[in-house]
Amino acid sequence: MDGQQGYYVTTDDVFQKLLHAYTITHAIEDRNGLKFHVNYFKAAGNHLPKPGEPLAQQAVVEAILAKHDGATHHRRFNAVLATASINDAIAYYHLFKEVQGRRKKEDSNFAPLHVACVFSPPAEGNKDVQQIQEDLPQEKADNQVAPDEKKKALKAIIADYNKQYGTNHRLDFFDLYYQDVQQRIKDHKYTNADYPHKHKIDLTIVVDMLLTGFDSKYLNTLYVDKNLKHHGLIQAFSRTNRILNDTKPYGNILDFRQQQNEVDAAIALFSGEKSGEAKEIWLVEPAPKVIGNYEKAVAAMEKFMATKNLACEPKEVYNLKGDSARIEFINRFKEVQRLKTQLDQYTDLNEAQEEQIESILPEDQLRSFRSSYLETAKRLKAIQQKEGGGAPPEVQQLDFEFVLFASALIDYDYIMALISKAMGAPTKKKMTRGQIIQMIRSDAGLMDKQEDLEAYINALDFSKGLSEQAVKDGFQAFVAEKNARELAAIAQKHGLEPAALHDFVEGIMNRMIFDGEQLSDLLAPLDLGWKARTQKELALMEELIPLLKKRAQGREISGLSAYDV
């Protein structure tokens, strides 16, 4: 603009020649973003909705509840539901409450999704809300109609949120509520052991919010019940495709409005000179192709075992001779698990495909192979840690990717619940002692507790019934007693008072700091010369370091590295 005179000038007019273009296609090719798996959901029945035509909200809610655990890798990740209007968002919020409440009454084992809902309130002169709504055109328009109803609904939603999470948010300070929602979505990065699941959000219902600019590596799924196109579609989809690791193979899109034409058009529009091959770059391979790759990976593992004159069975892995053979098994089974993880998150598998996947490698056998993998990996990792640069090059270079073998479902609380259910009078539905132990062995997330859990389970009398809390209390007492015995044995061996050694270890674990001066104080009653004291310190720490690391469960103890050689 120049005064009252306006000119229509494009970047093409100014620069003539394109200086540089880095599109989302390039980002995906460069592994700066994930591909997308798009499922155009079709409801049961004869009526096929036209592109852009909404399904009944009840059908959408039922589909989300059916597919969410698979799509999000058993809630390791979380999701956003994009709706077409504030009224739709409110209706969905109440429908989830109703449906989940009913299911909980019908089945006490049903675990409801933690559902939040966020949309901007009527601005009513509030400058902060007005600023927020500059980028929220649908919400800004919706709030012009029946604003008091929108405020009332949002107040009730915030009240539910406060009750769920123990917060004290108010509509007057909407931005603080919005920030808290965003933080709880991001808090999925913490394991349930470090930050209980009750504090997290599984599903956030939105209209315009969170669909642009918001980034969380642990958001992997977008449910779409609004019409999207062009830049808005790409922006919304891109909330799901932030790089993490192989447990997140792609961004998951479940579209309830049959918008394949719009998706294809957006891909072509934003792919620059690579528009001809963009779909192959943007979108993951269809399920039949990945199932085929999975079958080939399993066949390759079978062929490898045959070359070693071994059957392709989990127990035979322990008969592999030499580190080279064990390394090859590690790499081959890692590929099997990577493809299985990818298939587990496909939301469009039909019954025949699920049966085919199961027939390739039955779930029980797959779990046993995971156990064999973890035992073999721990053996090789010990060589890595002990020998360091002196280990064979192929051992040094191994990446075990334990994250692929850690389930978000099978955690400490889950195992405690299984043990409780397994005790008492036997029934066909209960798991046996051996099955629970096998499950523990197959999950990398329980590696630090595996030895103690197995010992505890084997010591229990399964003919007696125990509540879940009693099982937990019993395990804590069992571990405390076991730790006390270990420390007492070390104290006796080194001529120390058991109580003094116990206090020394507890002080380290409480602060997660190793203090050399406190070690000197611990050994002071022995009245040793400096040379003998140094030797005693080294001998004592050689036994204490494994114990301290085990109790730390992956956390770093500051200062311990001075003795960790």
Task: pLDDT band for 142, please (50, 70, 90 cuts).
Answer: very high
Say if residue 68's pLDDT is above 70: yes
Q: What pLDDT, in 10s, does the model give residues 161-205?
A: 999 999 999 999 999 999 999 999 999 998 887 888 999 999 999
* Mean pLDDT in residue range 277-299: 91
Task: pLDDT band for 489, please (50, 70, 90 cuts).
Answer: very high
Q: What is the Cα Rg of the chain in Å?
A: 28
Query: H-helix or E-strand containing 83?
Result: strand 78-83
Min mean pLDDT across 48-52, 58-62, 382-386 is at 48-52
Report the pLDDT value the prediction gives residue 277, as an integer from 0 to 100: 74
Strands, sheet with 36-40, edge to edge from the N-terminal-most edge strand: 36-40, 251-255, 219-225, 78-83, 203-206, 115-117
Say if residue 273's pLDDT is above 60: no
Exposure string (b/e) for 370-407, b if CB count within 10 Å is 16 or more? Answer: bbbbbebbeebeebeeeeeeebeeebeebebbbebbbb
What is the Cα–Cα distance from 482 to 445, expressed in whole angstroms?
21
What is the Cα–Cα distance from 333 to 391, expressed in whole angstroms?
22
Min mean pLDDT across 165-179, 294-308, 520-534 is at 520-534
Percent of the chain with pLDDT over 90: 57
Among 354, 216, 346, which Cα is nearest to 283's?
Answer: 346
Is the CB of residue 347 less than 8 Å from the CB of residue 254? yes
Report the pLDDT value the prediction gives residue 108, as an integer from 0 to 100: 85
Among 91, 140, 146, 86, which Cα is nearest to 118's?
Answer: 86
Among 192, 199, 255, 243, which Cα is nearest to 219's?
Answer: 243
Exposure string (b/e) for 474-511, b if CB count within 10 Å is 16 or more? Answer: bbeebbeeebeeebeebbeebebeeeebbebbeebeee
Among 454, 464, 447, 528, which Cα is nearest to 494's?
Answer: 528
Among 409, 375, 25, which Cα is nearest to 197's?
Answer: 409
Min mean pLDDT across 181-195, 265-279, 340-354 is at 265-279
DSSP state of 120: P
Helix (H, G, I), strand (E, B) or coil at 22: coil
* Mean pLDDT in residue range 154-163: 97
Instruction: List the alpha helices (DSSP H) in 116-240.
Output: 127-133, 137-142, 147-165, 174-186, 230-237
Total Cβ atoms within 10 A of residue 273: 11
What is the Cα–Cα distance from 29 to 327, expressed in whole angstroms?
29
What is the Cα–Cα distance from 24 to 274, expressed in whole angstroms?
11
DSSP state of 414: H
Task: pLDDT band for 368, please (50, 70, 90 cuts).
Answer: very high
| Structure-token pair, residue 170 | 């108010």
| Structure-token pair, residue 227 | 């019409």
Residue whose structure tokens are 């009693």: 470
* Mean pLDDT in residue range 242-261: 93
Q: What pLDDT, in 10s, does the model give residues 429-442?
A: 678 899 899 899 98
What is the Cα–Cα distance from 110 to 291, expressed in whole angstroms?
30
**Dihedral sign (CA 374, 376, 380, 382):** positive
DSSP state of 2: B
Average pLDDT, the chain: 89
Report the pLDDT value the prediction gives residue 403, as an integer from 0 to 100: 78
Among 62, 155, 56, 70, which Cα is nearest to 100's?
Answer: 62
Residue whose structure tokens are 């114990």: 547
Is the CB of residue 459 less than 8 Å from the CB of residue 478? yes
* Mean pLDDT in residue range 531-549: 88
Percent of the chain with pLDDT over 70: 95
Class of the domain covering 11-284: alpha beta
Task: pLDDT band for 242, please (50, 70, 90 cuts).
Answer: very high
| 81 vs 378, more confident | 81
Exposure string (b/e) for 74-98, b if CB count within 10 Å is 16 or more? Answer: bbbbbbbbbbbbbbbbbebbebbee
Helix (H) and strand (E) counts in the chain: 23, 6
What is the Cα–Cα distance from 405 to 378, expressed in whole angstroms?
13
Q: What pLDDT, in 10s, does the model give residues 103-135?
A: 999 998 899 999 999 999 998 878 888 888 888
Residue whose structure tokens are 């009454």: 105
What is the Cα–Cα distance from 560 to 562, expressed in whole angstroms?
5
Is the CB of residue 110 less than 8 Å from the CB of residue 174? no
Total Cβ atoms within 10 A of residue 219: 26
DSSP-assigned letters across all residues of 327-343: HHHHHHHHHHHHHHHHH
Among 327, 414, 340, 309, which Cα is nearest to 373's?
Answer: 327
What is the Cα–Cα distance from 319 to 332, expressed in whole angstroms?
16
